[in-house]
Amino acid sequence: MPLVTDYWPCPLCGKGSIEIMIKPSVMSAKRTACRAGRGTTLRKTKEQSFVVSDKCPVCGKSDEEIEKKWREEGLI
Q: Measured from the CB of residue 28, what is the shortest distance to Zn ion in angstroms?
A: 37
Binding mask 12-41 for Zn ion (x = CB under 5 A): xx--x-------------------------
The CA distance from 22 to 18, in Å, is 13
Q: Does 10 bind Zn ion (CB under 5 A)?
A: yes
Sign of the C-alpha dihedral, residues 64, 69, 70, 71?
positive
Cβ nearer to Zn ion, comparing 24 with 57: 57
Q: Between vectors from CA 38 to CA 36 and to CA 40, what angle results, nearest 5°?
A: 135
Contacts to Zn ion by CB under 5 A:
10, 12-13, 16, 56, 58-59
